[in-house]
Each structure stands twice: as structure tokens, then as C-alpha cells.
Amino acid sequence: MQQSKYMKWFAVAATIGMALILLGGALVTKTDSGMGCGRNWPDCNGSLIPTHITPEILIEFSHRVVTGSVSILIFILSFWSWRKLGHVREVKFLSFLALFFLIAQALIGAAQVLWGQGDFILALHFGISLISFAAVFLLTLIIFEVDQKFNANNVHIGGVLKWNTIGVTIYSYLVVYTGALVRHTNSSLICPDWPLCRNDQMVLPGNFYEWVQMGHRLAAGLIFIWVLIITIHVIKHYKKQPVLYWSWIIALIIVCCQVIAGMGVVLTRLNIVVALLHTLFISLLFGLLCYMIMLISRSSHQAKK
């Protein structure tokens, strides 16, 4: 049954809103605006609405407003999906994930403002938000009935593709964490060159910050190679299953954009637009990989019938 256009537009708004939360959080970190409102939450420097506006206050307060507004959207979308599409196998689980991890990331953000946290804990903040984004993204695809349009319920996924998809999805989360750790440890520009830390020196990283930066580059390079190998396998063996064929081609395009944006972050000395694109691309890649995990679940379910 076709879903109402209102539900579809609402789902699109919630998905875009979650993307804005991810980008807003990255912007807060990249501009060192986390303490723009001081050690105050949910108020800002003692006021519900700040009266003295600085760039840091504007960025931090705007991020809080967007997070609060989108939280309401996602709560409504989750309840609406549960009521109207609860018969679809994944909907209730995705609705729960979207709400649970959205609340979790908000609480971690509040805890950082009120008490402060270590870099390794803060790096989890983006990853937690990313799970909520992926859940909302998948709900949106279900609402738009993408599976029916691509006959996704009848996909047949072999063991090689199944385990590589699961593996690269889990690994992508590690890449996300290392990228967040780069930001939170202020290691973004510790290595002035690319692809090596210093292209004129073939040496190992010399300190913790260089290890964080080069560890992330290595992790990003490996995910590019892994996605490339999987895509070649899919092109060879899954041409007759368009949802898999095109999903992996898109995944390869996104991971290429991710690598280029990562290089651009270094070469442009942390240009904010390039840095936010870097965040956007990994978010889209993770969402797409989660969609393919859902296809694997459906394939396994169909095989048991």
C-alpha cells in the first residue's frame, strides 16, 4: 500500500534533519565551539536564549536548537511508522534505534558541556548519532517503498558477498571512530602532507597525534580497497539484481569522494566546507551499507521460508 505523501515528506525532513545534526556536531568540533554556551545546558550562559552573540555561541546554540527540533520530528516519525508500518519486519526495530541513539547522543553532548569528557569518549558521540541517522534513513527508504520498486525482497545474496558486507559495515564504524578521534584530539593538521605524514620522510609517526592521524588514513585506505574489491565482485556476479548492483557502485563512488575529501582537508588546511563534505560522505556511506545489511537480513529470511 502506498504511503501518504505527508508521511514521505515528513520522513525526508527527518532524514535531512539528522544529517544536519551530524554536520552541526562536526562544525562545533572543527570550530572549537563546544564551550560557546559555557558549562550550561540546556540554557546558554545562564539564559534560555543568548543575548550576547559570538560565532562560537551562534554555532553551539544553533546546533542545540536543530537537535531539539529534529528530535521532535524523529519522535513523531517513529511513532507514525510504528502505527502505520508496524507489520513491516524492520520498522519497530529501526524506530527504537532512531530514538534510543538520538537520546544517547544528546545526553553525551550534555554531559560534555556540564562536566567534560575525554577525547576517546567524545569520539563516540558522532558514531552514536550516525546509528540514529542510519535508522531514520532506512525508515525513509521503507516509507518510500524502495524495496518494492527494486524488487529487493527477492534478492539472493551469496556467502562471499554476505560476510564481506557485514565485515565492511562493522569496519566502516571503526573508520568513523578514528576520524572522530582525529577531530577531538586536534590531530587534523599534525601531518602537513598527503598521503604520507611528510612526503619527504619515509618514517613512522613520531608522536601520539601523528599516530592518530596516520592510523585514520590507513583505515580509510583499507576501506576504499575493500569496497572496490566487493564492487568488482558484485559487477561480475550480481548484474541481474539491480538493487545490489547499483548500491555497490554508489558505495564505491561515495568512498572515492570520501578519500578525495579527506585529502582535501589536509591540502586546504582544514577548509570548513571540505571538512563538512568529508563528514557527509562517510555518513552516506554508512547509511548505504546499513541498507545492504537489511537486504542480507531479508535474503536470509526468504531463504528460511
Enumerate the active-site residues: 60
Distance CA 266, CA 263 (A): 5
Measure the CA–CA gap between 114 and 203, rounded to whole angstroms.
41
CB-count exposure of residue 78 (10 Å: 0-12, 13-18, 19+): buried
For the annotated binding site for heme, the residues are 216, 278
3-state secondary structure of 258: helix
Is residue 44 helix, strand or coil? Answer: strand
C-alpha dist (Å) from residue 282 to 70, 103, 151:
21, 22, 27
- C-alpha–C-alpha distance, residues 129 and 23, integer Å: 10
Would you say 109 and 262 are in contact if contact means Cβ atoms under 8 Å apart? no
Report H helices in 52-158. Answer: 55-85, 91-115, 119-143, 146-149
Binding residues: 216, 278
